[in-house]
């Protein structure tokens, strides 16, 4: 027998592989941690396997492009993170009524913790809200297998299917057993039919249809191998997603036994399977991350069927509703609920003395990051104004970290512009300056700008154009002139677009040139009505550093202004400034230095 | 067989690559593997932790507290932050080259290098300190400090792969133009362990 081929794959790469195995034809997405590598991998292999891939300007657009392809019978996949689904909510809710012909899979990655997100929302709740089936993989292997299954399920049901991995599936690597690649692809043709046109009369009918579907899906899920029960006595645990791993390991580590129901499809609950399980246990603990999605359905089911089984979990405060779970947390929960013994021993192996205070280490803007210079320049230039700086989602959110302390708000993609506009209505006489990145400008910033122009909001928008979508891993966007698969594309000029939106005051500056930045800052806030400053410099992670800087110790007056005000990770020192090899040669510190003591040298001469 | 490794460091030090290399070596040796890494915002000079689990019948990718067989600290203070992961009697290799965060430069916190070092020595008898970043510079590229640490790791007993297997995984993973420099870094990491 041939040995199945294995590869070390990250969960997100495994999902991408699953999509290729399923014969995906169209892939769209907007980057967002922890989802980004799904699309990144698919874009990389698009030409080799012959499917279409695009980074769309936002999640709503991405879903709509994928839906169009699926209307014609193509298998389509769209990727985003949990907050991205909010942007795509509008098409999603109606798409559940309209349905699809070809398989449409939404990969929506959740970020319990959260590690890189502005909230912890649970996409399974969204699936429930939209009445769409959701699959919740516990490992990269399962993520791959579920992706293949999700396409089949979507076509079988005529509904979009949501695959919802969490950080510990997305960013976990595993030895994944690969499946065969497809020999055939769906044939595509859009057949005209009134069923594609959502008018109120049709919406009503389709809502009935969608509601009826829920039972059919639940029955189907009861026989799916992603859901399985193992009976080992009257003590039961029901668990979903990555929590399943923690439960299995906690039981094994402690030598405990319990009946286990693994749920891979949290909505709709596989009721037949769950009923059978509930009838064989006396009490059951539901272990899942985030919201009590499975737990609520289990309680509901037990109540409806009059089952004499106690259900515990989040509602009695045993399982936290916030943050990530892990083996240690789950062990403690199992111990507390079931009164299992053995915990005392487990804790004993791990006594560590109190450590000395450790230095605070938060993520910061990279050495040489062009955003640092712009934030610094605007703060300096507008010192006498008490301005409000509204922020947005991207690397530049880190501008809030000391010593820059440059941001006063941060809400969601594109909101810097709109929040500033709102503030400007009620704080007349104050300067409101919004900062966002180039990719975010295309995502939803442009809509806010159009609104600001149309309603003549007196704000300044600073577009931090570093020529990439940096925070999520350097994905391209329409301002770059290169598409997702690396081909040349028509570059959308940001300045031109801003002009097209009706902005009369536009200044383009070199982000590294402090004088230029400061002058533009003063002028822009003086201008009445919406003004836009575009600060340009490529992301420092994408350019090879040329020169670097060093301190002329003879000239240095030890004022430490460069260290204290810029917060550049290449600058350190308590009395004497030291510039480390992290220096990328941006030269901003030299412009800040009042003694001209920082000088440019070649990379090799330090 | 079960082998749990925790790698801690600072974003940009190559912990992700190092954990992938270890996983690849273990996988090539026929074991099941799981890794979990810090990806995203924290990568910008923040604290990062990678978990590598090797063996049979693996469940989650996160190493429970007190279970790691080996702790690789790519940075002095970060090694202390993750100490609770190491099992009693577990082995630690720590890069003693420090990366001072900007919070210290701007006066928001302190980096007590000597205290931290002494704490590690007391808490972990037999801890190996290595100037991995310096060794990497000698090898020709400071960015190969992660591979220096892997070379050091390869000298420990009870690993689920051979030193040759780990080196092989290094060479298969790094871009071809950097193979020689990484081979050198790996070997210098091995040699450095001879004197600790």
Query: Is A170 labeled as ligand-binding?
Result: no
A109 Cβ neighbours under 8 A, 6+ residues apart? A12, A32, A34, A35, A38, A79, A80, A81, A82, A164, A165, A166, A167, A170
pLDDT of residue A351: 55
Percent above pLDDT 70 for chain A: 97
pLDDT band at A494, cuts 50/70/90? very high
Query: Is A412 labeled as ligand-binding?
Result: no
In 10 A of CB A186, how many CB atoms? 21
**Selection from A534, A521, A508, A542 nearest residue A369 by Cα:** A542
Largest alpha-carbon pair distance within chain B? 50
Q: Which two tokens stand for residue A382?
A: 């507008």
**A360 contacts B103? CB cut-off 8 A:** yes
**Selection from A248, A243, A275, A274 nearest residue A261 by Cα:** A274
Residue A601, strand partner residues: A548
Q: Which CATH number fits the domain A6-221, given the four candidates 3.40.309.10, 3.40.50.970, 3.40.50.150, 3.30.70.330? A: 3.40.50.970
Structure pTM?
Answer: 0.94
Radius of gyration from C-alpha coordinates of chain A: 27
Distance of CA B175 to the CA centre of its chain: 20
- For the domain spanning A548-605, the CATH number is 3.30.70.20
Parallel, antiparallel, or unpaired for β A571-572 and A432-437?
unpaired
pLDDT of residue A349: 47
**Cα distance between residue A405 and residue B14, in whole Å:** 29
Q: What is the pLDDT of residues A219-239, one digit of tens each?
A: 999 999 999 999 999 999 999
**B122 contacts A402? CB cut-off 8 A:** no
Query: Is A556 labeled as ligand-binding?
Result: yes
Parallel, antiparallel, or unpaired for β A310-312 and A283-287?
parallel
**Cα distance between residue A324 and residue A34, in whole Å:** 14
pLDDT band at A15, cuts 50/70/90? very high
Eight-state DSSP code of residue A385: G
| Complex confidence, ipTM | 0.93
Count of positions (residues) in chain B:
196
DSSP reduced 3-state for A7: strand
pLDDT band at A348, cuts 50/70/90? very low
**Selection from A183, A186, A2, A31 nearest residue A102 by Cα:** A186
The CATH class for the domain spanning A228-346 reads alpha beta
pLDDT of residue A523: 98
Parallel, antiparallel, or unpaired for β A283-287 and A172-177?
unpaired
Distance from CA of A331 to the nearest CA of B (A): 10
Mean pLDDT of A307-331: 97
Residues in A closer than 8 angstroms to B101, CB to CB, are 359-362, 364, 569
A357 shares contact with chain B (CB less than 8 Å): yes
Distance of CA B39 to the CA centre of its chain: 16
Which residue intervals of A325-445 are DSSP H helices?
327-338, 343-348, 370-381, 415-426, 438-440
**Cα distance between residue A87 and residue A321, in whole Å:** 24
Q: Which two tokens stand for residue A281?
A: 């246990």
Distance from CA of B144 to the nearest CA of A (A): 14
pLDDT at A353 over 80: no
Q: What is the pLDDT of residues A445-487, one digit of tens each?
A: 999 999 999 999 999 999 999 999 999 999 999 999 999 999 9
**Is the CATH number of domain A370-542 3.40.50.2000?**
no
Cα–Cα separations (whole angstroms), residue B80 to A409, B9, B51, B95, B132: 34, 10, 16, 12, 17
By C-alpha distance, the chain B residue nearest A473 is B40
By C-alpha distance, the chain A residue nearest B41 is A116
Q: What is the pLDDT of residues A28-79, one digit of tens each?
A: 999 999 999 999 999 999 999 999 999 999 999 999 999 999 999 999 999 9
Do residues A22 and A148 make contact, with C-beta atoms less than 8 angstroms apart?
Answer: yes
Mean pLDDT of A411-423: 96
Residue of B71, B89, B105 to mutate when probing chain A, most A C-beta within 10 A: B105
Q: Report the mean per-residue pLDDT for chain A.
A: 95
**A116 contacts B116? CB cut-off 8 A:** no
B180 Cβ neighbours under 8 A, 6+ residues apart? none
pLDDT of residue A603: 76
Handedness of CA A210, A215, A216, A217 (dihedral sign): positive
**Cα distance between residue A567 and residue B107, in whole Å:** 11
DSSP reduced 3-state for B89: strand
Query: Is A586 labeled as ligand-binding?
Result: yes
Residue A508, strand partner residues: A534
Strand order through the sheet with A26-29: A52-55, A26-29, A76-81, A104-109, A161-163, A134-135
**Selection from A297, A374, A360 nearest residue A535 by Cα:** A374
DSSP reduced 3-state for B120: helix
Q: Which of A361, A366, A471 has the CB atom closest to B10's CB atom?
A: A361
Residues 115-174 of A with CB under 8 A from B: 115-116, 139, 168, 171-174
Low-confidence ranges of chain B (pLDDT < 70): 195-196
Q: Which two tokens stand for residue A353?
A: 């003395």
Mean pLDDT of A16-38: 98
By C-alpha distance, the chain A residue nearest B53 is A174
The torsion angles phi and psi of A564, rounded to 5 degrees, stand at -75, -30
> In chain A, where are the structural domains located?
6-221, 228-346, 370-542, 548-605
Radius of gyration from C-alpha coordinates of chain B: 16
**A361 contacts B59? CB cut-off 8 A:** no
Percent above pLDDT 90 for chain A: 94
Q: What is the pLDDT of residues A546-590, one digit of tens each?
A: 889 999 999 999 999 999 999 999 999 888 899 998 999 999 999
Query: Is A366 labeled as ligand-binding?
Result: no
Q: Which of B32, B44, B101 has the CB atom closest to A359's CB atom?
A: B101
**A362 contacts B101? CB cut-off 8 A:** yes
Do residues A60 and A88 make contact, with C-beta atoms less than 8 angstroms apart?
Answer: yes
Cα–Cα separations (whole angstroms), residue A171 to A15, A449, A482: 11, 35, 27
Do residues A597 and A557 make contact, with C-beta atoms less than 8 angstroms apart?
Answer: yes
For the stretch A370-396, what's the b/e string if a residue is b when 16 or more beta carbons lie within 10 angstroms of its beta carbon? bbbbbbbbbbebbeeeebbbbbbbbbb
**Selection from B125, B166, B159 nearest residue B5 by Cα:** B159
Q: Topology of domain B2-195, per CATH? A: Pyruvate-ferredoxin Oxidoreductase; domain 3 (3.40.920)
**B66 contacts A567? CB cut-off 8 A:** no
Residues in A closer than 8 angstroms to B65, CB to CB, are 328, 350
For the stretch A212-241, what's the b/e string if a residue is b when 16 or more beta carbons lie within 10 angstroms of its beta carbon? ebbeebbebbbebebbebeeeeebbbbbbb
Handedness of CA A256, A260, A266, A267 (dihedral sign): negative
Q: What is the pLDDT of residues A185-206, one digit of tens each?
A: 999 999 999 999 999 999 999 9
Handedness of CA A283, A287, A290, A296 (dihedral sign): negative
Residues in B closer than 8 angstroms to A356, CB to CB, are 80, 112, 115-116, 119
Asked, colleague to colleague, whether A228-346 and A370-542 share their fold, the answer is yes
């Amino acid at each position: 027998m041939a040995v199945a081929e294995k590869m070390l794959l990250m969960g997100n790469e495994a999902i991408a592989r699953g999509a290729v195995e399923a014969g995906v034809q169209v892939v769209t997405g907007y980057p967002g941690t922890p989802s980004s590598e799904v699309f990144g991998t698919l874009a990389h292999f698009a030409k080799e396997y012959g499917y279409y891939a695009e980074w769309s300007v936002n999640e709503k657009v991405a879903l709509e492009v994928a839906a169009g392809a699926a209307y014609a019978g193509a298998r389509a996949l769209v990727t985003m993170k949990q907050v991205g689904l909010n942007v795509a909510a509008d098409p999603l809710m109606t798409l559940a009524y309209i349905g699809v012909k070809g398989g449409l899979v939404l990969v929506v990655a959740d970020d319990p913790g959260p590690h890189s997100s502005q909230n912890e929302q649970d996409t399974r709740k969204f699936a429930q809200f939209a009445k769409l089936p959701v699959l919740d993989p516990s490992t990269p292997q399962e993520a791959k297998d579920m992706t293949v299954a999700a396409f089949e399920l979507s076509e079988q049901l005529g509904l979009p299917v949501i695959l919802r991995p969490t950080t510990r599936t997305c960013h976990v690597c595993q030895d994944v057993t690969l499946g065969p690649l497809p020999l055939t692809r769906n044939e595509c043709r859009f057949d005209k039919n009134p069923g594609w046109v959502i008018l109120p009369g049709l919406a009503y009918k389709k809502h009935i249809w969608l509601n009826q579907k829920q039972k059919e899906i639940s029955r189907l899920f009861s026989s799916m191998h992603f859901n399985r029960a193992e009976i080992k006595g009257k003590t039961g645990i029901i668990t979903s997603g990555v929590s399943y791993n923690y439960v299995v390991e906690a039981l094994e580590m402690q030598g405990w036994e319990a009946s286990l129901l693994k749920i891979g499809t949290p909505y709709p609950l596989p009721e037949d399977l769950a009923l059978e399980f509930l009838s064989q246990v006396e009490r059951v603990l539901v272990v899942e991350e985030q919201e009590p999605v499975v737990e609520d359905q289990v309680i509901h089911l037990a109540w409806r069927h009059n089952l004499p089984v106690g259900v515990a979990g989040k509602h009695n405060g045993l399982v936290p509703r916030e943050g990530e779970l892990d083996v240690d947390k789950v062990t403690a929960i199992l111990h507390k609920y079931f009164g299992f013994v053995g915990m005392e021993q487990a804790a004993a192996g791990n006594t560590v003395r109190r450590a000395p205070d450790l230095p605070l280490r938060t993520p910061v803007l990279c050495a040489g990051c062009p955003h640092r210079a712009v934030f610094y320049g605007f703060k300096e230039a507008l010192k006498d104004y008490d301005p409000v700086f509204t922020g947005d989602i991207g690397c530049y959110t880190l501008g809030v970290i000391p010593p820059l302390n440059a941001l006063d708000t941060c809400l969601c993609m594109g909101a810097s512009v709109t929040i500033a506009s709102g503030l400007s209505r009620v704080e007349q006489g104050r300067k409101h300056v919004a900062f966002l990145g180039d990719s975010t400008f295309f995502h939803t910033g442009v809509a806010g700008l159009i609104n600001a122009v149309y309603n003549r909001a007196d704000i300044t928008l600073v577009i931090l154009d570093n020529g990439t979508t940096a925070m999520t891993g350097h994905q391209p966007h329409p301002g770059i002139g290169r598409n997702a698969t690396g081909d040349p594309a028509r570059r959308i000029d940001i300045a031109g677009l801003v002009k097209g939106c009706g902005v009369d005051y536009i200044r383009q500056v070199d982000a590294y040139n402090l004088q230029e930045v400061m002058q533009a800052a003063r002028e822009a806030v003086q201008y009445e009505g919406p003004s836009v400053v575009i600060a340009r410099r490529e992301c420092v992670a994408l350019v090879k550093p040329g020169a670097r800087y060093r301190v002329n110790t003879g000239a240095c007056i030890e004022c430490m202004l460069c260290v204290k005000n810029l917060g550049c990770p290449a600058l350190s020192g308590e009395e004497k400034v030291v510039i480390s090899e992290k220096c990328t040669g941006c030269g901003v510190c030299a412009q800040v230095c009042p003694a001209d003591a920082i000088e440019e040298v070649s990379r090799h001469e330090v | 067989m079960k082998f749990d490794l925790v790698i801690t460091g600072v974003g940009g030090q190559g912990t992700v690559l190092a954990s992938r290399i270890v996983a690849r070596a273990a996988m090539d040796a026929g074991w099941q593997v799981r890794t979990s890494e810090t990806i995203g915002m924290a990568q910008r000079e923040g604290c990062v932790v990678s978990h590598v689990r090797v063996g049979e019948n693996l469940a989650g990718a996160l190493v429970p507290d007190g279970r790691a067989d080996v702790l690789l600290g790519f940075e002095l203070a970060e090694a202390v932050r993750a100490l609770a992961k190491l099992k009693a009697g577990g082995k630690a290799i720590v890069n003693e080259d420090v990366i001072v965060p900007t919070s210290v430069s701007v006066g928001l916190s302190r980096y007590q290098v000597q205290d931290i070092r002494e704490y590690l020595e007391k808490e972990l008898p037999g801890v190996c300190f290595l100037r991995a970043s310096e060794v990497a510079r000698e090898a020709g590229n400071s960015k190969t400090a992660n591979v220096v640490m892997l070379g050091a790791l390869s000298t420990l007993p009870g690993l689920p792969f051979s030193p040759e297997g780990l080196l092989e995984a290094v060479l298969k993973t790094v871009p071809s133009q950097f193979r020689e420099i990484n081979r050198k870094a790996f070997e210098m990491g091995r040699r450095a362990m001879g004197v600790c």
